[in-house]
Amino acid sequence: MEPGLLSAVLGVVLVQVMATHDLDLQKIAGFWREVGVASSQNLVLKSPRRLEALFLTSREGELTVKAAYNSSGSCETEQIVSSEVNASGKFVFPGRREIHVIDIDYEQYAILRVSHLWQGREFHVLKYFSKLLPRAPVLAPLSLSRPAGRCAKLLKEVRLRPTA
C-alpha cells in the first residue's frame, strides 16, 4: 500500500476513535505483529530498521515491550519498560518515547500512535498491529498485510521457550 494512502486511512480512523477509553492492561498482553505503518515523515517509512512484532506483558501497572526488528536483514531485539502508564492507553518510555493506544479490540487489532524525539525532531507514526496471522493472502484492493518476518517468528519462539 502506498504510504500516503495508508496515512489517510489511518488518519480517518484516528479522528473517529480518539474518544478516551479505559485500557485493560491484562488483555493487551501478548504477541502483536505489525501489519501497517503510516507517517508524514518519509525517514520513518524508509528506515532500514523495521519493526516486525511486539510481545507485551503487564505487571503492577507497568507495560514491558519486547520488540523484534529486521535491521537490513539481521534480527535485533529490544526490551523496554514503561516509566508511566495511564488508563486511557498512554505509555511513556525512557528516551522520550511514547505509545498511545488509539483503538483496540484486544483479539484482532490495535492501532497505536508512536511518538519519539530523535536528533532534536519529534516523530509520529501510526501503527496497525494484529494478533492474527493471515492464513491466506488477502485478495482485496486495499491490503495492509505484510508477510510474517523471520524476526517476528524468532520473538514468538523465544516467548514460548521455558525459562530456567
Q: How far apart are CA 76 and CA 147, in angstroms?
A: 18
Query: Mean pLDDT, to the nearest integer, of 39-68?
Result: 86
Q: How far apart are CA 130 and CA 59, in angstroms?
A: 22
More confident site: 101 or 17: 101
Q: How far apart are CA 103 and CA 14, in angstroms?
A: 8
Domains by residue range for the chain, with CATH: 3-160 (2.40.128.20)
Q: How far apart are CA 102 and CA 47, in angstroms?
A: 23
pTM over 0.75: no
| Confidence grade of residue 21 (pLDDT, cut at 50, 70, 90) | low
User: pLDDT digit string (tens) for 75-111?
Assistant: 999 999 998 777 678 899 988 889 999 999 998 999 9
Q: Do the Cβ atoms of 6 and 37 come closer than 8 Å?
A: yes
Q: What angle do CA 85, 51, 86 make, to 5 degrees?
A: 10
